[in-house]
Structure 1
Amino acid sequence: MLNPPPRTDNEPPARTVRRAGPWIPALAAWLICAAHQASATYPFDAGEMLGPPGALPPWSEMLERHQAQIANVEACIDDRDACPRRARALHVIVEKGADLPRDKQIQLVNRYVNRKTHRYDRRRTTHTDAGKVVRISHWKTLWEFMERGGDCEDYATTKYFLLRRLGFAPEDLRVVVVYDRRYREHHGVVAVRYDSDNTWLLDTDNHIYRRNKPVEYRYVYAVSELGIWDHDVRVR
C-alpha cells in the first residue's frame, strides 16, 4: 500500500485509524507530509504529480495483482453462485448499481464496502540508506479485500475499483491519504469528482462529504491508476 512518510524507531507509533486500522508510516523519501490547511473540497486539478503508478512499488504491485484477478471478479459478477461466500457482494453491488444514477451508485458502493470486516495490515520493516526504519504495509486488491477485509486504504481501494466497474473514469477517482489533526493519524478515503465543481469524499464511517470535508482533514497525497500526487503547500 501507499503509506505516510517514514519515521525513526524513537518516534511514537501512529494511533489506530478510526474504524479502519493504523496508517503505518512508510512512503518513499520524496513524499513528505506538509503542515498546511487543506481546501474545502478535494482539488483534482492541484498538487504536484510525482510520477506514474510504477514509481511506488507497493501500489503498482497491487495494480498488477488486481489485473491478474480480474477474471475471478468478472466471473463472480456474472454468476453469484460462482462466488466464494465472502465475495458475493460483488455481484449484488454491480447488479443493483448498473442502472442507478451516479449519486446512488456512489452511495451504494460506500455502504456495501463499509460493511466488510476491518483487519489490521500485516507489516514488514526495512531500512533506508539514511538509516531510517520504514514500515511498509500491504495494499489489498478488490478481490483480496472482498475475501478477507482490510485496513482503511483497502476500503478506499475497493471503492475505487467498484466505481470503475460501474463506469466512473479514472480521471474522476483517487485514493486520498489525509492527515486527521483531531486524532493525529493518517487515514484513507476516496475522492470522486461528481461534476466540474463538486468532489465527494467517501469515508469508512459511511459519511459522504459533499463539497466540504471535515475541518480536521488535511490532504497529504493521492494515488490512482494514472499516477501519484503530492499535495504540497500550494494546495490549501
Structure 2
Amino acid sequence: MTWTERRARCLAGRLAIWAALPLACLLLVAQPGTAEARKYPKIFGSVELPSKNLKKFPKWLDMVGRWKNGQPCESDTCTVKGWQGLVDKLKGMDRLSQIKEVNSLLNSKKYIIDMKNWGLEDYWATPYQFLKKNGDCEDYAIAKFMVLKAIGVPIEDMRIVALQDLNLGVGHAVLVVYDGDNPLLLDNQIKSVVPANTVKHYQPVYSINENGWWLHRK
C-alpha cells in the first residue's frame, strides 16, 4: 500500500466528519457574542465565522487537557527527550526564522497512521507522544503549535486548520501562523514554509486554537 493510499484510508472517516461539520454548526457560530476584535486575513480564499464554543471538538479538548495536566513523561508512549533542546534552540531567533525552523525540524518525523500507532482511527497526540511515536497530519500541526507557543508566539497568531486536499480527495490538517497579515502554511506535506494562499488545492473546513474556532465557507 502506498503512502497516499495509507493516508487516504486513515483520513477517510475524518473527511466525512469534517464535510458534515458546517451543516451541524451553522447555528452555533451564529450565536451572539462570537464576534472578535481582530480581523484576520482570508486563508485559502475562504470566509470564516468565529465561535468561542469549543465543546464540539472533544479530541482537541482532550489533547489540550492531557498536555496541560500531564507531567513530563518517559514511557513507551511518551517522552520529553528533545523537547527542551528544541525550545532552547529556537529562542533568540526572529519570528520568521523560528517558524521555518519548527516546520523543518518537526517535518523530519516519520508519518504513521493512528491505527498503527494507537489502534484508533483518529487520535490527537500530545507533542510528547509525537516525539516518542511520530504521528499523522494533525499531530505534526499540534506539535508545531505547542512548540511555537512555548517560545512565545501568541495563541491568537496560530490555528490548526482541518481541510480537504482537493488533489488527493482526502482530509488533512496543517498549521497556519499569521506573520502580521501574512498567513504562513506549516505543512508536513510541503518541505518549506509558504504563504498559505499560494496553495490552491486546499479547501478549509474549520480552524481551531485554544481560544476558539472558525467555520470556513467558500
The TM-score range, normalised by the shorter chain, is 0.7 to 0.9
Partner of residue 98 from structure 1, selected from 91, 100, 110: 91
What is aligned with 1:122?
115
What is aligned with 2:13?
24
What is aligned with 2:68?
67
Matched ranges for 1:1-236 at <5 A: 16-17=6-7, 22=11, 24-25=13-14, 26-27=17-18, 30-32=21-23, 42=43, 46-69=47-70, 71-72=71-72, 87-122=80-115, 137-195=122-180, 197-204=181-188, 205-210=190-195, 212-233=197-218
> What is the identity, as a one-letter code, of the residue corresponding to 2:183?
T
Deviation at 1:58, TM superposition (A): 1.3
Alpha-carbon contact 2:111-2:135 (below 8 Å) kept: yes
Decide whether aligned partners of structure 1 residues 27 and 215 sit closer, same or farther in structure 2, where only a CA change above 3 A counts.
Answer: closer
Distance (Å, rounded) in 2 between the aligned partners of 1:27 and 1:218: 11
Unaligned runs of 5+ in 2: 25-40
Tell me which protein shows more helix as a share of its residues: 2
Decide whether aligned partners of structure 1 residues 89 and 184 sit closer, same or farther in structure 2, where only a CA change above 3 A counts.
Answer: same
> What is the identity, as a one-letter code, of the residue corresponding to 1:214?
V
TM-score normalised according to structure 2 size: 0.75
Deviation at 1:108, TM superposition (A): 1.0
Distance (Å, rounded) in 1 between the aligned partners of 2:202 and 2:149: 25
Distance (Å, rounded) in 2 between the aligned partners of 1:63 and 1:44: 29
Alpha-carbon contact 1:201-1:213 (below 8 Å) kept: no
Decide whether aligned partners of structure 1 residues 105 and 120 sit closer, same or farther in structure 2, where only a CA change above 3 A counts.
Answer: same
Deviation at 1:184, TM superposition (A): 1.0
Higher alpha-carbon deviation: 168-177 or 45-54: 45-54
Alpha-carbon contact 2:46-2:217 (below 8 Å) kept: no
What per-residue deviation string (whole Å, max 9, x for no partner) do you get for residues 135-185 of structure 1?
Answer: 961111111111111110110011011010010111100001121111111
> What is the identity, as a one-letter code, of the residue corresponding to 2:49?
E
* Percent of aligned pairs sharing the same letter: 26
Alpha-carbon contact 2:18-2:205 (below 8 Å) kept: no
What is aligned with 1:36?
none
Decide whether aligned partners of structure 1 residues 211 and 147 sit closer, same or farther in structure 2, where only a CA change above 3 A counts.
Answer: closer
3-state SS of 1:47 partner: strand
TM-score normalised according to structure 1 size: 0.70
- Equivalenced residue count is 190
3-state SS of 2:156 partner: helix
Structure 1 residue ranges (4+ consecutive) displaced by more than 6 angstroms after TM superposition: none
What is aligned with 1:130?
none
> What is the identity, as a one-letter code, of the residue corresponding to 2:11?
P
Distance (Å, rounded) in 1 between the aligned partners of 2:217 and 2:46: 13
Alpha-carbon contact 1:176-1:223 (below 8 Å) kept: yes
Unaligned runs of 5+ in 1: 1-13, 34-39, 77-83, 124-134
Distance (Å, rounded) in 2 between the aligned partners of 1:63 and 1:85: 15
> What is the identity, as a one-letter code, of the residue corresponding to 1:72?
P
3-state SS of 2:171 partner: strand
